[in-house]
């Protein structure tokens, strides 16, 4: 198991690297430029505009890559924030101030030590216990970049198709999606 290096600087660990997580990491670095700031992100991308996903699906924005504000190398080179992508935190030991994570590509286990921890993982979709909902090819959950890309792959030319949308639970993201597909 790999452990991050100890440092005399304050260690700030952010779990989640979309809008809230990347903003928290950037703000922490502005407040304390000497801090060792790391972002753990379970996706391959970081710092993207999730609220823009419905506009890509609708065809107003051409490509999901246009939603990416800053790639990991920009965080490292310009802001001195390390971004660890494709890594999922699965355990927090508050007494030891350690986060246990797994590299989703290699399966390697890692331990990240912290002085301050920010959890900015967003919401998870709750799939209702309705017969057939998990087997249906027309049922989509949209929470992250990968979900949006999968939905868009079903309609690669952004054709306007006659579709019916039922949104069981709504956040601002789903409200935008509803508006995009119904008007």
Residue 78: which CATH number? 3.50.50.60
Whether 39 has a pLDDT exceeding 90, the answer reads yes
pTM, rounded to two decimals: 0.72
Distance CA 110, CA 73 (A): 21
pLDDT of 5-25, one tens digit each?
Answer: 555 799 999 999 888 899 999
The domain total for the chain is: 1
pLDDT at 140 over 90: no
CA 104, CA 110: separation in Å to the nearest integer?
11
Residues with a known catalytic role: 51
Residue 112 confidence class, pLDDT cut points 50, 70, 90: very high
- Residue 143 in this model has a pLDDT that exceeds 60: yes
Alpha helices (H) in the chain, listed in sequence order: 19-31, 53-58, 72-79, 145-153, 172-182
pLDDT at 5: 54
Q: Which residues contact 115 (CB under 8 A, 6 or more apart)?
A: 10, 11, 12, 97
Residue 138 and residue 165 in contact, taking contact as beta carbons nearer than 8 Å: no
In terms of phi and psi (left: phi > 0; alpha: psi -120 to 50; beta: otherwise), the region of 60 is alpha
**Does residue 156 register a pLDDT over 60?**
no
Per-residue pLDDT band for 69 (boundaries 50, 70, 90) equals confident
Average pLDDT of the chain to the nearest whole number: 79
Q: What is the chain's percent helix, strand, coil content, to nearest 5? A: 30, 20, 50
**24: exposed, middle or buried (Cβ count in 10 Å: 0-12, 13-18, 19+):** buried
CA dist 96 and 111 (Å) reads 11
Inform me whether the pLDDT recorded for 94 exceeds 90: yes
Please report the pLDDT score of residue 108 as a whole number. Answer: 97
Place of tokens 């959890």: 119
């Amino acid at each position: 198991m790999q452990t991050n290096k100890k440092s005399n600087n304050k260690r700030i660990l952010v779990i989640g690297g979309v809008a809230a997580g990347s903003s928290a990491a950037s703000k922490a670095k502005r407040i304390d430029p000497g801090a060792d700031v790391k972002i753990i992100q379970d996706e391959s991308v970081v710092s993207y505009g999730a609220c823009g996903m419905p506009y890509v699906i609708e065809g107003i924005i051409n490509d999901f890559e246009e939603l990416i504000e800053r790639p990991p190398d920009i965080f490292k080179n310009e802001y001195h924030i390390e971004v660890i992508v494709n890594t999922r935190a699965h355990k927090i030991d508050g007494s030891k101030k350690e986060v246990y994570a797994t590299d989703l590509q290699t399966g390697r286990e890692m331990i990240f030590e912290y002085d301050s921890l920010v959890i900015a993982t967003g919401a998870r979709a709750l799939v209702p216990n309705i017969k057939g909902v998990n087997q249906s090819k027309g049922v989509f959950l949209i929470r992250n970049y990968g979900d949006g890309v999968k939905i868009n792959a079903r309609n690669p030319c952004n054709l306007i198709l006659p579709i019916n949308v039922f949104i069981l639970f709504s956040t601002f993201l789903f409200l935008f999606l509803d508006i995009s597909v119904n008007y």
